Structure 1
Amino acid sequence: MAEDKPGDALSEEKRFVRDLSISVVGIGRLGICFAAVFAERGYRVIGVDIREERVREINEGKIETIEPFLAEYLRGTEEFEATADYSYAVANTDVTFIFVNTPSRTNGSFSNEQVESTLKSMSPALRKKENHLVVVASTVMPGSMKGFSRLLDMPHIGLCYNPSFIAQGDVIRGFEEPDFVLIGESDSRSGDLLQDLWSEILRARLPIVRMSWENAELAKITLNAYITMKISFVN
């Protein structure tokens, strides 16, 4: 009998998760770092950006950054490419993370315009797939995820809310060693898959908190408000 090799004892679920390909829409400061972390772990990653110049810079390896570890991670992998083609990215991946901007309005709420535009651009390719997981990582207002679900209107597509709690200037480590991971899920299967993906990049056993879309949206907004208030008192 052949000896077991390292990794032979991996569960079928883990093998499946490690076979996944990932797309990241919005490869700005947060998105590019998130993509780099997965690419460094050996995942195939496709970054999507409407800025052709940004796409060209990434594909030519000309990223100028002061973000710790980012240049090192990108140089050390051949698993990352960038494109402006949403259909190509969706068709060739299994999970899509959305990191587009949700700028603040004058009334203090967040605009979902770029998230909605992204979902509309992805929809034709999503309709051709048997299944796919879409993860909104941008900060949104409570009730937004229900609206996104109606916009997609595809029962075979999983939809999760997974906002980040990251400090600029330490984004890579923020993704690898967060205080906790927050997941708002459409269904338990989608939540399981997203949790397994996070387990692949976390450098320690850290809390992964799962709940409904609505509760996750409220949790993110509440924590943002608390942090803002805390900073105001310090200043």
Structure 2
Amino acid sequence: MTHLVQGPGGFSPAGQPPRRKICVVGLGYIGLPTAAILADRGYEVVGVDVRPDVVATINAGRIHVVEPHLDTLVEQVVREGKLRAETSPCEADVFFLCVPTPITEDHRADLSYVEAASESIKPYVRAGNLIILESTSPPKTTEDVVIPHAVPEHLAIGEDVYVAHCPERVLPGRILIEAVENDRIVGGMTPACTQQVLDFYRTFVRGNIHATSAITAEATKLVENAFRDVNIAFANELSILAGKLGADPFEIIELANHHPRVNILTPGPGVGGHCISVDPWFLVEAAPEVTPLIRTARNVNDSKPHFVIEQVRAAAASVEKPVIGCLGLAYKSDVDDLRESPSLEIVRDLAGAGLGELRVCEPYVTAEQFKEFPLSSVEETIAESNILVLLTDHSPFRELSADDLAGKHLIDTRGIWRKVMAEGPAVRPSLPIDPGCDNVIRRAA
């Protein structure tokens, strides 16, 4: 049994120096906050990213993603010399792999980033190292991809090198809080791996840490997101049904949730982000014959953008010279994350549909960051459009008044304007939309 001693930088096998240096591979939405948190805890951290512009930005003390307070923390730890970015790994005591795991067009996991990251650290891995995969991954990725590509053949797992899967469980907008405060799962390839990595996480995590195996940790993270996906699919299917019935789905959900054992989620234009819209497919791929519910939920949510487009098509047909203002490209409120965003998918489809002129507003993305089509301000979009499509419930859109929205055809996929319009000028349904509608499409009388 391995005996542990606690040094100033964390735990290490007895007789070995304490772990002080950390290499974080992948400096995106998870990797950069992780690197900054660890640097703030006193570790020497080297962040690795293949994008030279990202490396240059971080080394200048700036950030390339939107996350509250991350800019201040990165500036501080870079200035203090605790964090630096490079384009290739180096020797370290602990290696974090925080790279994307997207899906292919046929809904299979693309593990090329995990494989490349694993291969990149292999020349630097030595006895006593921890290798931690934080990327959300299909079952057995740690065993079948990380170990063969990252661990030199002469090093024994659980004796020389300690490998574990520790899935991130954070919400964009709260990453710096939740990465430290949330409960974490540590799934080692062996009990010794689990113990070593668990003791390391105790040096910076204040939440409870749950020990398990690597494959259980991989499956648990996927199950968490599949659970939410199934529940969102119910809400999205309900929104279509309510439209068929001529009812307001948001009111139905609000009233149903007064039941003590009912908690229906809020419908929207689909499901986006790198987690909920992707992870359930990993479970389907692992065992397609026993996951029909998970597959159906994915199909329901993936089909929702097409339903919204049909709403816009019906609205555009009733307006002379339609100008369609699309509000939001990000997949959730008040972030700049466009990954798997149904809002972006809808705008792309509308751009090719020829239904009218488009005005696109995304207040959290700059024209320098996004060049696919021109972006307009909130004021320009409202003033120039006669159809407004609310796709992402950003704060600036929540703050619009009934006067701002008066005279427009409204397609509110998030239900955030219902109260504003109820308190504002008298309104009436503007169009009989079939099939159904996410919400009431209304126009000021």
TM-score, normalized by length of structure 2? 0.46
Q: How does 1:32-43 map to 2 (within 5 A)?
A: 32-43=32-43
Whole-angstrom CA distance in 2 between matches of 1:117 and 1:19: 25
* Aligned counterpart in structure 2 of residue 15 of structure 1, from 4, 8, 32: 8
- Structure 1 counterpart of 2:194, one-letter code: G
The alignment partner of 1:135 has SS state of strand
Q: After the TM superposition, which residues 98-177 of structure 1 pair with which residues of structure 2 at under 5 Å, given as runs?
A: 98-126=97-125, 129-148=126-145, 149-151=147-149, 152=151, 153=153, 154-155=155-156, 156-177=160-181
Deviation at 1:107, TM superposition (A): 4.1
Question: 1:167 deviation in Å?
Answer: 1.1
**What SS does the aligned partner of 2:217 have?**
helix
For structure 1, the 5+ residue unaligned runs are 1-10
Identify unmatched segments of 5+ residues in structure 2.
11-17, 236-264, 268-445
CA distance in 2, matches of 1:16, 1:200: 8
* Equivalent pairs, count: 216
Structure 1 distance, partners of 2:231, 2:202, is 30
SS in structure 2 at match of 1:34? helix
Specify which structure has the bigger relative contact order, considering alpha-carbon pairs within 8 angstroms and separated by 6 or more residues: 1
Which residue in 2 is equivalent to 1:63?
Answer: 63
Deviations 1:3-33 (A, max 9, x none): xxxxxxxx94243517521111000111100
User: Which residue does 1:208 correspond to in 2?
Assistant: 209
Distance across 2 between alignment mates of 1:31 and 1:216: 19
Give the Cα separation in 2 of the matches to 1:113 and 1:181: 26
Q: Which has the higher helix share?
A: 1
> Which moved further from structure 2: 149-158 or 24-33?
149-158
**SS of the residue aligned with 2:8?**
helix
Greater displacement, 49-58 / 214-223: 214-223
Code of the aligned partner of 1:20 = R
Deviation at 1:197, TM superposition (A): 2.5
Q: 1:167 to 1:131 in 2, by over 3 A?
A: same
2:184 is matched with 181
8 Å CA contact 2:98, 2:134 repeated in 1: yes
Q: Secondary structure at the match of 1:200?
A: coil
Inter-partner Cα distance in structure 2 for 1:42 and 1:12: 18
* 1:230 match: 231
Larger radius of gyration: 2
> Which sits farther off after the overlay, 62-71 or 130-139?
62-71
Distance between the aligned counterparts of 1:96 and 1:200, measured in 2? 15
RMSD of aligned Cα (Å): 1.9
Separation of aligned partners in 2, 1:41 and 1:123: 26
